[in-house]
Amino acid sequence: MPADTPLLRAALKARSEPGGAVTLGHVAQRAGVSPSTVSRILNGSAKVSDEKRRAVEAAVAELGFRPNPVARGLAGGRTFSVGVVTQTISSPFYGEALFGIEKTLEQQGLVPLFVSGNWQESDESKAIATLLSRRVDGVIVLAGRLPDAALQAFSREVPMVVIGRRLQGPQLFSFGFDNRAGARLAVQHLIDQGHRRIAFMAGDMAHHDATERLEGYRDALERAGIAPNPQLIVQGDFTEPGGMQATARLLQREASFSALFASNDQMAIGAILSLHRAGLRVPDDVSVIGFDDVQAARYMLPPISTVHMSIFDIGRLAAEAMLSLLQGAMPAVAAPAPALVVRESTRRLAH
């Protein structure tokens, strides 16, 4: 930890001196009531006469009093903050969710504490540990690699909301997106356009998202009576460079394809670039569809057809679920249904 110094100490002391440091006690004095009464009014934790309530509210306003969350945390056990374990804070996919979470929490006076899990089990549990030591009131986990059991164990300590996975626990609520249905939508779209040789680029199979999207791909083929061809399935890792490499591998194989379904937009972007390098044009030679509807997908050349997941809403819903949990209720939210977005990277197969 940074060494202690005069400058710092002075700075910090300054904040607790006149001007800034209006305390609950001051409010009480000003309003002519006891501190407990002020506290009760602030927290609505008991009935108080209207007269005193008005006096206190006036005092709060005049003094510009803002309760100190640190003190509240120590005394009441609630810190009015909720931890959020995100995988990559700069991810185009999860970034939106964080925004939704922040927006929703702030309406209730709660502050999110974002920590990165970096898709690594060790980082994730370290992240949760710091959050717990910070005494957050709840924890929201965005997917990740932590075993279910670990998550469930943590949920005995704090209310938890886990998104992108499905599991149960004491004060644990989770909801996933309907990846399977979304994938079916994508593949069905390709089929509707006359494609039958449809390649699939899988994401990192350690993610549920990845396996579910593969299942959706298989579902759709089966429904259309198309025999799945293992030669047309490549392994990717949900990143752009991974998408490029996977595409290169795919092109080396015997099997040909007229369309490619990439399990996420980032890989689709990589794939398009890689196809271009190989002299294949999208959508003229190959139709490409992604998944997620990341911002960038709109502005690619060509703009990418994809499956829309309103990530912002997912963040919002996760935060709302957390609010319910904090109120002792079991949340009743469900992920919004995925929707097909047709842009210009897919087209009807020319005969």
Footprint of DNA (CB under 7 A): 4, 9, 16, 21, 23-25, 32-37, 39-40, 42-43, 45-49, 51-52, 65-68, 71-72, 74-77
- By beta-carbon proximity to a copy of itself, the closer residue of 234 and 319 is 319
Residue 58 partner contact from DNA, a copy of itself, none using kind-dependent CB cut-offs of 5 to 8 Å: none
Q: How far is the CB of 4 from DNA (least distance, A)?
A: 6
Q: How far is the CB of 98 from DNA (least distance, A)?
A: 27
Q: How far is the CB of 346 from a copy of itself (least distance, A)?
A: 16
Residue 24 partner contact from a copy of itself, DNA, none using kind-dependent CB cut-offs of 5 to 8 Å: DNA
Residue 157 partner contact from a copy of itself, DNA, none using kind-dependent CB cut-offs of 5 to 8 Å: a copy of itself
- By beta-carbon proximity to a copy of itself, the closer residue of 63 and 326 is 326
Residue 33 partner contact from DNA, a copy of itself, none using kind-dependent CB cut-offs of 5 to 8 Å: DNA
Residue whose structure tokens are 């004060």 = 171
Residue 65 partner contact from DNA, a copy of itself, none using kind-dependent CB cut-offs of 5 to 8 Å: DNA
- By beta-carbon proximity to a copy of itself, the closer residue of 15 and 47 is 15
Please, what sign has the CA dihedral across residues 165, 170, 172, 175? positive
Angle at 289 between CA 288 and CA 294, to 5 degrees: 125
- By beta-carbon proximity to a copy of itself, the closer residue of 118 and 188 is 118
Residue pair 282/275 in contact by the 8 Å Cβ criterion: yes
The residues with which 172 forms a beta bridge, in sequence order, are 160, 169
- By beta-carbon proximity to a copy of itself, the closer residue of 132 and 340 is 132
Q: How far apart are CA 315 and CA 329, in angstroms?
A: 19
45 vs 5, 31, 39, 48, 78, CA distance in Å? 41, 18, 8, 9, 14
Residue 5 partner contact from DNA, a copy of itself, none using kind-dependent CB cut-offs of 5 to 8 Å: a copy of itself
Exposed e or buried b per residue across 179-192, where buried means at least 16 C-beta atoms within 10 angstroms of its C-beta:
bbebbbbbbbbbbe
Q: How far apart are CA 238 and CA 254, in angstroms?
A: 24
Q: How far is the CB of 217 from DNA (least distance, A)?
A: 51
Residue pair 308/335 in contact by the 8 Å Cβ criterion: no
Q: How far is the CB of 38 from DNA (least distance, A)?
A: 7
- By beta-carbon proximity to DNA, the closer residue of 24 and 262 is 24
- State the CB neighbour count (10 A cutoff) for residue 331: 19
> For residue 336, what is the DSSP state?
P
